[in-house]
Amino acid sequence: MQSLNHVNIIEILGYDKADTLEPEMVMPYRSGSLSTFVGLKMPDAQYEQACRDILEQMLCALDYLVNFGVVHRDLKPENILYDHGVSPGRYIFQLADFGLANHQKLAKTMCGTVTYQAPELWPELSGLSESSYQQSPKIDVWSLYEAFVAMSSKMKAFPPRGKYGMSELYKISKTLLLDSVKIHKQLAPMAELEPDRRASAAWMLNSLFEGRGMTTRPGKIEPYYPPGTVLPRPARVQTAPRRQWSSNMDIDEPQNMAPPAIIFPQGGRADVDIPIIVHTRAVLDRRDAQLRFWTLFYFPSIPEEDSVQVDDHETPGEVVI
């Protein structure tokens, strides 16, 4: 967290008890979160502008996190802080509470607040294949759209109120969210059920705000695939065929190899400069599941007239390491 440096992400001033299960972090004081922001008295036009600012600034924060491979995983109004901006009547918003954040390669566990969770976290209720999607920055894009819908209605139309089980609460939330797309048509790319089709934060910034505050380079923006378009197939990775150990190892025969040169240094001992071909094989011995390496040293034959007597214990052969 301390390595993150963005105007729309709360900074860490310091920390304590980092080696315990309850570390403490020191962060700057802010006026409140979006859950209290809805109670502020202001003209409707000013509130609508504030909602647009929330969307733009949080898209900037999410796009910044993408470049660090970080997924927040718990984006909701309570985790977006606000403070007064430089201009009168304007506010600055910051993403906070990274307690559930993780690197996208490590993010696997179920997490977040049910009403703001993305469909890929509920594959059985969303008609998605559980094995097809990993947790990615796209889950934060979905959550941001839900937070925007909640804020635009001052939390009256969303999230749902009442006592529900988790799965029932998710289904109601998803229905309300998809219905809201009819009102917020420009934000429909953020509410795609399939994460592969869902727009990225950079794409939304480029589409709605002319790319202001975007960290991703324009040429690196992940494309958006509207419903009805064909998704590109991922490259198929061909796995190497399994090979079992065989005693019949193939040895490359030397091609056009020069005869060995015999050198007689001082002292009378004959040293032979002989080229060798080395083959190393790594195989898995199924009996004890240990990786073993076999190295073969191949010495080309030496003409009789140039042959040198070598002790038996120095005779090269197959060496098992």
Averaged pLDDT, 52-64? 97
Same domain? 166 vs 305 = no
Is 68 a member of any domain? yes
Is 119 a member of any domain? yes
CA distance 11 to 95: 10
At residue 134, what is the residue type? Q
Average pLDDT, rounded, for the chain:
74
Q: What is the pLDDT of residue 122?
A: 66
Give Cβ neighbours of residue 72 (< 8 Å, ≥ 6 apart).
62, 65, 79, 95, 98, 100, 101, 140, 143
CA distance 74 to 146: 12
Averaged pLDDT, 174-200? 89
Same domain? 106 vs 200 = yes
Averaged pLDDT, 122-143? 71
- Return the structure tokens found at 55: 């969307």
Same domain? 121 vs 19 = yes
Q: Is pLDDT at 230 greater than 80 in this prediction?
A: yes
Averaged pLDDT, 187-194? 92
CA distance 138 to 95: 16
Domain count of the chain?
2
Q: Is pLDDT at 296 greater than 80 in this prediction?
A: no
Buried b (16+ CB within 10 A) or exposed e, 264-277: eeeeeeeeeeeeee
Centroid of chain to Cα 217? 18
Counting residues of the chain whose pLDDT is more than 70, the rounded percentage is 63
- Return the structure tokens found at 140: 């934060």
Averaged pLDDT, 140-152? 93
Residues 257, 262, 267: CA angle, nearest 5 degrees: 155
Is 214 a member of any domain? yes
Averaged pLDDT, 60-85? 93
Nearest to 273 by CA among 257, 287, 249, 284: 257
Q: Is pLDDT at 199 greater than 90 in this prediction?
A: yes
Same domain? 64 vs 172 = yes
Last residue of a domain, one of 199, 220, 241: 220
Q: pTM for the whole thing? A: 0.66
Is 291 a member of any domain? yes
Same domain? 212 vs 269 = no
Same domain? 198 vs 277 = no
CA distance 96 to 76: 10
Same domain? 51 vs 111 = yes
Same domain? 302 vs 216 = no
- For residue 184, count other CB atoms closer than 10 A to its CB: 16
Last residue of a domain, one of 203, 220, 237: 220
Residues 56, 59, 135: CA angle, nearest 5 degrees: 160
- For residue 118, count other CB atoms closer than 10 A to its CB: 27
Interaxial angle between packed helices 166-180 and 138-152, expressed in degrees from 0 to 180 and rounded to the nearest 10: 70
How many alpha carbons fall within 13 Å on the CB side of residue 210? Answer: 0
pLDDT grade, residue 164 (50/70/90)? confident
Provide the residue range defining the domain that includes 274.
261-320
CA distance 144 to 162: 22
Same domain? 70 vs 204 = yes
Q: What is the DSSP letter of 268?
A: S
pLDDT grade, residue 124 (50/70/90)? low
Q: What is the pLDDT of residue 133?
A: 55
Same domain? 41 vs 181 = yes
Averaged pLDDT, 280-308? 43
Residue 150: strand, helix, or coil? helix
pLDDT grade, residue 276 (50/70/90)? very low
Residue with more model confidence, 260 or 240: 260
